[in-house]
Chain A
Amino acid sequence: MKRPSRDELQKPGYEIPDELKGSVVVTTLNRLYNWGRRNSVWPMMFGLACCAIEMIATAASRYDLARFGMEVMRPSPRQSDVMIVSGTVTKRMAPLIVRLYNQMPMPKYVIAMGACASGGGPFKEGYNVVSGVDKLIPVDVYIPGCPPTPEALLFGLMKLQQKIERQSFKEVYTKPDYIPEPVLGPDLMDPRDYPKIREYTQKKLQELQQQAAQAAQG
C-alpha cells in the first residue's frame, strides 16, 4: 500500500467548506492509529540485570522517560506494549521470559537492551547464558552498550516509535503471538527441537558405544 504523503493529505481533492477549515483534520486511519500508539508505549516493569538500573535511571528525573509517553511501567505483562529485556537472559529465566512474552497482548514489541540481551555480551560463553534474547523471541530494536547509557536507551525507544509509526494495520498483527516455552532439561530445550535433540543424543550414544567396543577389542 502506498502511503499518502503529508502534502497529499493537505489536498484531499475535495472542497472543505470555509467554516470548517481549521477544525477538520484529514488523515489516514493508519496515521491516526499509529500516532496514538507511538505516544503511549507502556513498558513492562521487568528488570533482569545491570541494564535494569540504567532503565530505572532513565525513568528518573534527569532523563525523564515521561517525555516520550513511556513512564507508565506496568508490573503486569497483560497491560504492557513493550518488553525491555534489560540484562543477561539466563537459561533458567528463559522459559519465564517466553511466558511473559506470550502473556503480552498484541501488538507487542521487544527491545533488547545491552550487549547481553542482544547477543550474550561478556557472558556469552557461560553455560547458563542464552546468547541473545532473539534466540527465544523476536526483537524489534537492539541497543548496544554494557550497559547502554540512558541516552542510548532513549534513542532506542525513539527508534521503536519510528518503527511503530511506519507500520500499517496489516503488519501489526503478523508477529508470532505465541511461542512454545522452552523446557529446562539437562540443558535448555526448545520443544520444537525435540526430534533433533533425540537424533543428536542417540548419535552421541552410538559413538560412545563404538568407542567402548573398539577399546575392548584393541
Chain B
Amino acid sequence: MAQPTVAAPDLAARFPEMVTPDTRKGYSGYIVKAEALLDFAKALKEEFGYDYLSSVTGVDYLPQGLMEVVYHAYKITGGPPLVFKVQVPRDNPVVPSVTSIWPGANFQEREAWDLLGIRFEGHPNLKRILLWEGFWGHPLRKDWREPYYEGEHKPFKSRTAGPHFWHEDHNPFGKNVDYPPGFDPYTWEPETADQILYESVIQRTRKPEQEELHSEQVVVNLGPQHPSTHGVFRMIATLDGETVVALEPVMGYLHRNHEKIGERNTWIMNIPYTDRLDYITAMSNNFGYVLAVEKLMGLEPPERAQYLRVIMAELTRIVNHLWAIGFLLNDLGAFFTPALYAIEERELILDVFEAASGSRMMNNYMRFGGVVRDIPEDAWDMLVKLVHDRLPRKIDELDRFLTHNELIKSRTQGVGVLTPEQAIALSTSGPVLRASGVPYDVRRAEPYGIYDRFDFDVAVRYHGDVYDRYLIRLDEARQSLRILQQAVRDIPERGAPILAGKPQYQVRVPAGEAYGRVEGPKGELGFYVVSTGKANPWRYHVRAPSFINLTALEAMSIGNKVADLVVILGSIDIVLGEVDR
C-alpha cells in the first residue's frame, strides 16, 4: 500500500525553484528551500487549508551531509497528509521556525534541537526539552556515540556469538557515563540550569507596574516527585495570587532513548519497544508501528488478523479511558475509589490480553503482516461476554456514579477551557481535540486497517473543559464497544490465517520513508520510519500524542487556580513513557 499523496498539484509551480517534488525512490512530498519555508507554510495553511501540523521531526543523512526536517500537515476536515521537507547542511543546520504559523510545532522543534542539533530560527523558547542544559552533544546524530557503544547495528556480537561481556567492564567508570576531553568537574556550576528555567518563566509575565507596587509573582514548582503528576512530570507555574499566569512543562525525566535504540535495533526488535512507549496502551502502539512498516513493505495482513488487531486496539482504548477516568477522579480528590472500579475492569481485559499474547501489559502482539498468535478459545468466550454484557454495564455504572455528581461538576465545568481554534493550532489530538468541538478522528479522517467497515460515531463535545474531556472518554468507550460488538460478530472463523507469509526474524524493508498513524487512545500516534534497505531503520521517530498534547497545557491553565492545575493535567491524560520516550 503506497502512501497516498494527493497534494495540491500546483505547489511546485506556485513556488518555482523554491519547491521541488521529492523524487528519491520511496519518498514522497516536496522539498522546500529553507528561505522559502515560511511563505510556503503560510500559503499551505491559508490557501490550501492544511491547518493541522501533525509531526515535525529531523533526519540525519550523514552520508549525504544533510540534515532534513520533515513536516506532516493535514486538513482538519480529513484526508491524506502533505509531506514537505527542508534540507540544510549538516554542519550548520538552521531552519526557520514554523511556530508562528503552527504553534503546535513548539515542543517538536525543541525536541529536534535537543536530539539532532537543528537550530530553529525565530523559535520563542529554543531550549533542550528531553535532556538537560549542558548535556554533551546531540545524541540522535549518526556520529554521536553513547557510552556503552558497541556497534552501529544490532544484533551485537557480544550478545549472540561472544565473547560475552558486561558493558560496565569496558567503561573506565563502571557506569553508563562518558565525559568530553578537557572537562573539569570542579568548575561546573550545577545550579544554573534550574535558575535559568525559573528566571525565564518569571520574565515572561513580569509587568512593570508590579515593580512599582513591590508585589511579585510566585513561581511554584510541581514535581517531578508528586503524587498526582502521573509519573515523573514537572510543571513550573507562575502565580499571581492563586491564579496561574504562566506555566512551563518540564519533561525528560523518563527519556529512555527509544529513538536511538530503535535505530540500532532490527525492524522487528522495535515492536516490544513500542509496548513501552505508552505502557497502558501497548496494543495500539504495536498497531501504529507495524502499520508504518507495512506501508514500506507493501504487506496486507489477512482478514482474521485485521479483525484481531481492531479488537485488541479497541479493548486497549477502553482500558485506557477507564484508567484515565479513574485517575482523573483521583486528581480531583476522590482518592482511589473510582480508580478501583476502573482497575477492576482493566484486570478482566488484561486477562484476555494475557491469554492471547502471554503478557499482561507488554503484549508484543502484532507482527508485520498480521498478529503473532490467535486468541485461545476460552479467552474468546471471556471476551464475548465482556463486550456484550459486563463492559457496557460497567461503563453505564461509572456514568451513573460520576456524571451528575454535583462535586465533580463544580470542580470541572468551565475549568481548563481549550477553544477549537487553539486546539487545532496547538496540534492537539485525540480526546483533547474532540472535547473542544473538533470531530477529528484518524479512524474516520484517513481510515487504516479495516476501520472503514465499522459503523460508529466520532464522539464530540463542545465546551472544551475538563468535564467534557471526562465525558468524551465515556462516549468513546461506548463507541469502542460498538466497534467491538461488530468485530466479534464479523470476524472470520478460527483457523483462518493470521499472518501474511512466513514468520521471520529478519524482514526485508525496501528503502524509503513511511508515516503510519493510528488513532491511539491518547490521540494521533504516528511513526515516521526511514529505511535504507538495510536490516535496521535509518530513522525511527514517534509522534507521541501525550507529548504534543502537552503543548496545550499552558493555554488550558492560564487564568485558572493553582488547585486546578493537577486536574487539568489529569484531563489531558498523559503517560510519561510516551511523553519522554
Residues of A in contact with B (beta carbons under 8 Å apart): 45-50, 52-54, 56-57, 60-62, 75, 77, 87-88, 90-93, 96, 100, 120, 122-131, 135, 146-147, 149, 183-190, 193-194, 196-198, 200-202, 204-205, 207-208
Contacts and interface: CB of A to CB of B under 8 A. Distances in A.
Interface in B126-164: 130-132, 134-136, 139, 146-150
A99 to B, nearest CB: 9
A48 B232 contact: yes
11 contacts: A46-B225, A50-B279, A50-B362, A61-B340, A90-B253, A90-B256, A124-B167, A125-B148, A187-B135, A193-B173, A201-B183
B481 to A, nearest CB: 22
B378 to A, nearest CB: 19
A53 B179 contact: no
Interface string B505-521: 00000000000000000
Q: 4 nearest interchain CB pairs?
A: A126-B257, A186-B136, A50-B279, A75-B227
A123 B257 contact: yes
Contact of A204 (B168, B181, B252): B181
Contacts of A183: 185, 188, 190
B255 interface: yes
Given A124-B167, A187-B135, A187-B177, 8 more contacts: A49-B276, A75-B226, A92-B131, A126-B146, A126-B257, A131-B175, A183-B190, A186-B179
A126 B176 CA distance: 8
Nearest to B174: A135
Given A88-B254, A122-B272, A149-B360, A196 B173 contact: yes
B172 interface: yes
Given A131-B167, A188-B177, A198 B186 contact: yes
B470 to A, nearest CB: 20
Nearest to B229: A47
A90 B255 contact: yes
Nearest to A193: B173
Contacts of B131: 92, 128
- The majority secondary structure among interface residues of chain B is loop
A187 B254 contact: no
Q: Which of A52, A124, A131 has the most CB of B within 10 A?
A: A131
Given A124-B167, A208-B181, A100 B225 contact: yes
B576 interface: yes
Nearest to A186: B136
Contacts of A100: 225
A50 B577 contact: yes
A171 B149 CA distance: 40
A76 to B, nearest CB: 9
B182 interface: yes
A49 B279 contact: yes
A88 to B, nearest CB: 5
Nearest to A99: B225
A129 B273 CA distance: 15
A56 B347 CA distance: 12
Contacts of A207: 181
A127 B181 contact: no
B340 to A, nearest CB: 5
Interface string B544-581: 00000000000000000000000000000000110010
B236 to A, nearest CB: 15
Contacts of B150: 125
Contact of A57 (B148, B179, B254, B347): B347
Nearest to B350: A57
A194 B183 CA distance: 11
B566 to A, nearest CB: 12
A101 to B, nearest CB: 11
B95 interface: no
A59 to B, nearest CB: 8
Contact of A185 (B167, B188, B253): B188
Interface string B405-444: 0000000000000000000000000000000000000000
B180 interface: yes
B326 to A, nearest CB: 10
Contacts of A129: 176, 256-257
B261 A123 contact: yes
Q: Which of B224, B231, B255, B264 has the most CB of A within 10 A?
A: B255
B362 A93 contact: no
Contacts of B226: 75
Nearest to B231: A47
B183 A185 contact: yes
Contact of A127 (B147, B167, B193): B147
A93 B576 CA distance: 13
Q: Which of A88, A186, A196 has the most CB of B within 10 A?
A: A186
A48 to B, nearest CB: 6
A52 B231 contact: yes
B46 interface: no
Contacts of B260: 126-127
Contact of B361 (A90, A93, A147): A147
B148 A122 contact: no
A12 to B, nearest CB: 45
B184 interface: yes
B185 A197 contact: yes
B491 interface: no
B232 A93 contact: yes
A163 to B, nearest CB: 25
